Chain A
């Protein structure tokens, strides 16, 4: 596990926010997750050491919160809201559109390793349903046409990278 120097600096800073070090568990998980994209085994023991905890204390937190991934996924993460208001406005169709665009299935990574499509629960933007988060960005009113447009954009960005 090779953390960037700025991640290490932010880790040391965030620990000072709490009178009890254990409280920094979630912030540290977030920082490492952002840095390397998932939470490997060694991150768990590293955090436990840093916060003077047992690895099980960190492990039980990682497994409780849906946002933390244990394994690498596609370069982009497409998270389609599945909950009622979005579903009423066509969220399931939006999800199917992304699956088709990238030739993949829900919960799986596309063959080119570019995207992983997942369902998530209510994103607190129900008034602009259906909504989708791609990495950190929220996209609103994502119907079939908009799903196509976002997919094209992802492919264009991927092409630029190579």
Chain B
């Protein structure tokens, strides 16, 4: 089956010749018309449209946006904050970067609609420190919008006021985790908070109700407001509505960002047709479908079970290529859609070396609060690095599994899962390669790629 055509909602103007990131260009393309219309409606109506749309968060967890918004404590009398998560730090993910650099007003319009809907008077954009130009572009765009009364004390003459400030991170991955982000915004170390409270919507920034949403999620809000929640819900598949941006990197002919209706494209169509297949003379070996924390898939494995299609339960029997790229299907086969970052590895890659690379990332980024995460991520890194650079032993596979299995469920934040899933899944799918690594390494001459 040929791949469907891209459906560019969020990326509509990205890479369009002549499209610039200033207010005038955005308004020539109909920009801020949706905000103008939104401020004439009741805020509850706007929240309702988002609920009806079925929009799920694009930052990683896929949590329904409308549900999150309905958890906000509106009775406390405290101010409500909105934080835009522009930390984009999950390895393999690079979509928010292009929205921020090339179409910042789309994000600002989405933010202002979301703020109006939730009675937010102050929003912060938390952008990773490694995007200094992105931060400047956003600051300039906000200033332009403020001068046009689209942001500020009296938006479009309605008497409703809301400010946006840009806040830069400084190179720590854990600032992407929403409670770590809030601590960081409060001027502290980004140590994620102990739950309960389960949602920042109840107690977040400065102990006030706080909404944290990803950049892409807030852009979708603009389109939902424009077309109506019911209409938006027709895009994509039931339970996985709207479009999704897939960021493909690694060993394919045409890496890049592609936007499709969620669940209407399979992993095989995405990699083989859209991205042009493997590099010359190579075959696909493995793929991580939702950012480096997602469990790895091995080409050749099959997934069988029953799934809901409409009202019926039907059997499925999928190869890796057949899996529809949506939250639920990827969850069903034991991995996740996560942040949309698809990392592809071909047959030139040693799985032990790839895991050693990933483990180095997680041990560098653990915030260090929880012993299982701090020590476990370090041990996993030490073992895999020793395997690559020193003496690999047959029993290392079991040792690694023993460490990884003791982390998830025993930590303050989901980084515990994020750092153990790669090791667990690499071992489950490529256990033989780990056991045989010592011999294989001595037989293989110089490798084409060094990963660690």
Bound together: yes
Q: What string of 1s and 0s marks CB contacts (under 8 Å) between A82-96 and chain B?
A: 111101111011000
Are A83 and B357 interface neighbours, CB within 8 A? yes
287-345 of chain B: CB within 8 A of chain A: 292, 341, 343, 345
Q: A20-B186, A22-B187, A65-B129 are in contact. Are A122 and B172 (CB under 8 A)?
A: no
Are A124 and B172 interface neighbours, CB within 8 A? no
Chain B residues with CB under 8 A of A84: 91-92, 250, 292, 343, 354, 357-358, 361, 451
CA gap between A10 and B206 in the complex, in Å:
24
Chain A residues with CB under 8 A of B450: 87, 92-93
Are B169 and A65 interface neighbours, CB within 8 A? yes
Q: A20-B206, A88-B345 are in contact. Are A121 and B256 (CB under 8 A)?
A: no
Chain A residues with CB under 8 A of B360: 82
Can you name the residue of chain A whose Cβ is closest to the Cβ of B256? A127
CB distance from A89 to the nearest CB of B (A): 7
CA gap between A20 and B205 in the complex, in Å:
10
CA gap between A22 and B185 in the complex, in Å:
9
Can you name the residue of chain B whose Cβ is closest to the Cβ of A66? B171
Q: What string of 1s and 0s marks CB contacts (under 8 Å) between A54-75 and chain B?
A: 0001001100111110000000
Quick check: is A24 within 8 A (CB to CB) of the other chain? yes
17-60 of chain A: CB within 8 A of chain B: 17-20, 22-27, 29-30, 51, 57, 60
Q: What string of 1s and 0s marks CB contacts (under 8 Å) between A113-137 and chain B?
A: 0000000111111111100010010
CA gap between A129 and B249 in the complex, in Å:
8
Count of residues in B whose CB is under 8 Å from the partner chain: 56
Chain A residues with CB under 8 A of B94: 124-127
Are B206 and A19 interface neighbours, CB within 8 A? yes
Are B186 and A22 interface neighbours, CB within 8 A? yes
CB distance from B88 to the nearest CB of A (A): 4
CB distance from A134 to the nearest CB of B (A): 12
Q: A27-B167, A84-B92 are in contact. Are A126 and B187 (CB under 8 A)?
A: no
Are B249 and A85 interface neighbours, CB within 8 A? yes
Can you name the residue of chain A whose Cβ is closest to the Cβ of B174? A64
Chain B residues with CB under 8 A of A133: 130
Chain A residues with CB under 8 A of B407: none
Partner pick for A24 among B187, B206, B251, CB 8 A cutoff = B187
52-109 of chain B: CB within 8 A of chain A: 88-94, 96-97
Count of residues in A whose CB is under 8 Å from the partner chain: 44
Chain B residues with CB under 8 A of A123: 130
Are B129 and A30 interface neighbours, CB within 8 A? yes
113-155 of chain B: CB within 8 A of chain A: 128-133
Are A23 and B185 interface neighbours, CB within 8 A? yes
CA gap between A51 and B132 in the complex, in Å:
24
Are B188 and A124 interface neighbours, CB within 8 A? no
CA gap between A116 and B356 in the complex, in Å:
25
CB distance from A93 to the nearest CB of B (A): 7
CA gap between A67 and B127 in the complex, in Å:
14
Are A67 and B251 interface neighbours, CB within 8 A? no
Are A87 and B452 interface neighbours, CB within 8 A? yes
CB distance from A143 to the nearest CB of B (A): 13
Chain B residues with CB under 8 A of A22: 186-188
CB distance from A100 to the nearest CB of B (A): 15
Q: What string of 1s and 0s marks CB contacts (under 8 Å) between A146-162 and chain B?
A: 00000000000000000
Can you name the residue of chain A whose Cβ is closest to the Cβ of B354? A84
Quick check: is B385 within 8 A (CB to CB) of the other chain? no
Partner pick for B189 among A60, A82, A87, CB 8 A cutoff = A60
CA gap between A18 and B83 in the complex, in Å:
13
Can you name the residue of chain B whose Cβ is closest to the Cβ of A126? B249
**What would 18 A/B residue contacts be, using CB atoms closer than 8 Å?**
A22-B187, A22-B188, A30-B129, A65-B190, A66-B170, A83-B357, A85-B91, A85-B249, A87-B450, A88-B345, A88-B449, A92-B451, A124-B97, A125-B94, A126-B92, A127-B247, A129-B249, A129-B250
Besides A20-B187, A26-B168, A67-B130, 7 more A-B contacts (Cβ < 8 Å) are A26-B187, A57-B188, A61-B189, A67-B171, A92-B450, A124-B131, A125-B97
Closest 4 CB pairs of A and B: A65-B170, A25-B187, A126-B249, A67-B171
What residues make up the interface of B, taking CB atoms closer than 8 Å to A?
Answer: 88-94, 96-97, 128-133, 165, 167-173, 184-190, 206, 247-251, 255-257, 292, 341, 343, 345, 349, 354, 357-358, 360-361, 364-365, 367, 449-452
